[in-house]
Amino acid sequence: MTQSRDSLISIADTPYYHCISRCVRRAFLCGEDKYSGQSFEHRRQWMVDRIRFLSSIFAIDVCAYAVMSNHYHLVLHINEQEIETCSDLDICQRWCLLYSCPVLVSRWQAGELTSEAERNAALVVIAEWRRRLADISWFMRSLNEFIARKANKEDNCKGRFWEGRFKSQALLDEKALLTCMAYVDLNPVRAKMAETVEASEYTSIFERIHGIASREDKGEQNNASKPLLGFVAGECDEQLQGIPYALLDYLELVDWTGRAVRNDKSGAVSEQRPSLLSVLGIESDTWIELASSFGKDYHGAVGSVEELALFAEHTGKRWISGKTKLQRMLH
């Protein structure tokens, strides 16, 4: 049975979510159709450009992404602090970059409303926009609708491009977050689309390794584009939001994992255990199993047993899929 989005997302428990959308039948997001020989590789850039654009408008940060042939993965962070500091005028400007602005709100922006009732009505609309700009469902809707229309126009066809609604998975603690990010970043390596993580184009790990995000921070690319959510271990600014580990430690961990999950590359696996695994308190074999099957074996939410119980309580669930296996592996 289809579940309401309220039963899958609980900001009280975590701001981090893993989202997946898959194409219908033989529709191609990217890749090459072996029957017709037609290549759809250019659509990967469509995805990356749209993700960047939306993250600069929504109060949602991108932690990780991977664009595959018939599906894509996103690890998103709902930035409540960002949306709370936005003025009503800023909310209007952001929303109207995506959707048309009602006459009532346009007149409010221009200071043309004369009655208190009209002003209150305009503020109600803006308050709803504020809620939507921190809503993962609206982020995914703005991404999927745009790509579907563009792909259907290119294919000269109509109808569904995506398999119904996107799937979401709550990441309830730092172990779940880093495991999911590694799982997403390693998608092309596991699928043998790339030899190494540094060659895995159209993924967040490729972007981090090649310094695209850092160049954006210095203003060398589009100033309106928001960089990936950063790793902030060792940063002096206590107000800085980000993933509380060092980027180099994460890169080392993903590189080590990528060598281990490639059966044809087993001889290249370093025997040295990445330091971040010791910090997380996860055994090497457990980590490899999690990073290899994270998106297949666990649904709805991932975290400690205690966190899963709270998440189930807050979302009205009686149980969480995969809880027993998680308990065995992580405890």
Instruction: Dump the DSSP string for 231-259.
Output: B-TT-S-TT--SBSS-HHHHHHHHHHHHH
Per the structure block, which two tokens stand in for 273? 């255990």
Co-location of 210 and 121 in the same domain: no
Last residue of a domain, one of 116, 132, 148: 132
Q: What is the pLDDT of residue 134?
A: 96
Q: What is the pLDDT of residue 331?
A: 53
Nearest one of 81, 66, 82 to 29, comparing CA atoms: 66
In this structure, is residue 3 part of a structural domain? Answer: no
Co-location of 231 and 251 in the same domain: yes
Co-location of 128 and 265 in the same domain: no
Sheet holding 60-67, edge to edge: 60-67, 71-78, 16-22, 167-171, 301-302
In this structure, is residue 123 part of a structural domain? Answer: yes
Query: What is the extent of the structural domain holding 93?
Result: 87-132
In this structure, is residue 2 part of a structural domain? Answer: no
Co-location of 250 and 122 in the same domain: no
pTM of the predicted protein model: 0.87
Write the CA distances from 2 to 5, 7, 136, 166, 178, integer angstroms: 9, 10, 17, 11, 28
In this structure, is residue 50 part of a structural domain? Answer: yes
Residues 188, 149: Cα–Cα separation, whole Å: 26
Residues 138, 142: Cα–Cα separation, whole Å: 6
Co-location of 57 and 146 in the same domain: yes
Neighbouring C-alpha atoms within 13 Å toward the C-beta of 123: 9
Co-location of 120 and 26 in the same domain: no
Co-location of 35 and 60 in the same domain: yes
Residues 294, 325: Cα–Cα separation, whole Å: 11
In this structure, is residue 5 part of a structural domain? Answer: no
Q: What is the pLDDT of residue 325?
A: 60
Where residue 61 sits, what CATH number does that domain have?
Answer: 3.30.70.1290
Residues 246, 16: Cα–Cα separation, whole Å: 18
In this structure, is residue 278 part of a structural domain? Answer: yes
Q: What is the pLDDT of residue 19?
A: 95
In this structure, is residue 314 part of a structural domain? Answer: yes
Co-location of 275 and 163 in the same domain: yes
In this structure, is residue 23 part of a structural domain? Answer: yes
Q: In tens digits, what is the pLDDT along the chain, a chain of 331 residues?
A: 455 555 578 888 899 999 999 998 667 778 777 777 888 889 999 999 999 999 999 999 999 999 998 899 999 999 999 999 999 999 999 999 999 999 999 999 999 999 999 999 999 999 999 999 999 999 999 999 999 999 999 988 888 899 888 999 999 999 899 999 999 999 998 888 888 888 899 999 999 998 754 444 444 444 457 899 999 886 656 657 899 899 999 999 998 888 877 655 544 445 578 889 888 888 888 888 888 777 666 667 887 778 877 887 777 776 666 556 665 555 5
Co-location of 164 and 280 in the same domain: yes
**Per the structure, how many domains does the chain have?**
2
Co-location of 144 and 253 in the same domain: yes
Q: What is the pLDDT of residue 164?
A: 82
Co-location of 304 and 223 in the same domain: yes
Co-location of 66 and 166 in the same domain: yes
Phi-psi region of 300 (alpha: psi -120 to 50; beta: other; left: phi over 0): left
